[in-house]
């Protein structure tokens, strides 16, 4: 059986080199590990000229929009906050263009954390700039250090019968919490399918059933292949990509 080629969006970070800290485009190994575990072949997609987006997607069977720094608040009418970090205008522009092109071509897509926020902004949605500053009682959605790999952080309820629930094989699950932003207003054509008990939007899917796209706020790649819902989600991407 042919193994589909899955592009994973890369982010620009400073990494230690022989001459000191140098900028590098990076993809966390956990994303690639899960794509392989689900039966796909991972390949990095580097941010670049937005006019290249369609040509890039033509060579892929599916795409994974990965996590990373925050989307620039000005893109969705938001405000800068002290904890907004890692803004990369070039990456934002390229990935938003990729998202719209993926929709146009109905290319299977999995959007994780920042990826969910990118897809939402691409379709005109807005974000909560910082959950710690936002009104209301919130669960602790940001867990740093060793806690990032724990799956018992908070519960997510998923709409029964939704494409998200079918992909996960569950409508209630425990997820990790490694984000300080979240969707505020869903973009046009996007449906909320999952929430945490404090009302934070945890998953989206398209109204258009012809586009296999799943967006989740947590990090299933860090929960690993031993976590059945996480592996099922990646397998849904691979199956659609075939």
Q: Which of 35, 36, 178 is nearest to 109 (CA)?
A: 35
179 is annotated as an active-site residue? no
What are residue 34's phi and psi, to 5 degrees? -70, -35
- The one catalytic residue in 95, 103, 113, 180 is 113
CA 31-164-219 angle, to 5 degrees, is: 30
Residue 113 bears catalytic tag:
yes
What's the per-residue H, E or C state across 8-59?
EECEEEEEEECCEEEEEEECCHHHHHHHHHCCCEEEEECCCCHHHHHHHHHC
Q: Which of 146, 132, 116 lies closest to 180, judged by CA? A: 132
Q: In the annotation, is 221 catalytic?
A: yes
- Tell whether the torsion through CA atoms of 161, 164, 168 and 171 is positive or negative: negative
132: left (phi over 0), alpha (psi -120 to 50) or beta: alpha
Backbone angles phi, psi at 179, to 5 degrees: -155, 145
Active-site annotation, residues: 113, 219, 221
């Amino acid at each position: 059986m042919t193994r589909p080629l899955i592009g994973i969006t890369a982010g620009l970070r400073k990494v230690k080199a022989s001459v000191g800290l140098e900028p590098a485009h990076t993809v966390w190994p956990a994303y690639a590990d899960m794509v392989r575990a689900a039966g796909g072949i991972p390949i990095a997609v580097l941010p670049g000229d937005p006019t290249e987006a369609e040509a890039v997607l033509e060579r892929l069977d599916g795409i994974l929009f990965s996590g990373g720094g925050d989307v620039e608040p000005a893109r969705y009418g938001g405000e800068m906050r002290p904890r907004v970090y890692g803004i990369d205008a070039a990456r934002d522009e390229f990935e938003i263009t990729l998202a719209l092109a993926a929709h146009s071509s109905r290319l299977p897509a999995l959007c994780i954390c920042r990826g969910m926020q990118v897809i939402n902004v691409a379709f005109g949605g807005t974000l909560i700039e910082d959950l710690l500053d936002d009104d209301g009682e919130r669960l602790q959605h940001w867990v740093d250090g060793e806690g990032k790999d724990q799956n018992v952080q908070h519960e997510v309820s998923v709409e029964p019968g939704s494409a998200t629930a079918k992909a996960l094989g569950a409508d209630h699950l425990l997820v990790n919490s490694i984000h300080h932003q979240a969707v505020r207003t869903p973009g046009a054509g996007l449906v909320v399918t999952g929430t945490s008990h404090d009302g934070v939007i945890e998953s989206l899917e398209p109204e258009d059933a012809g586009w296999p796209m799943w967006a989740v706020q947590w990090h299933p790649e860090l929960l690993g292949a031993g976590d059945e819902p996480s592996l099922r989600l990646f397998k849904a991407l691979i199956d659609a990509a075939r």
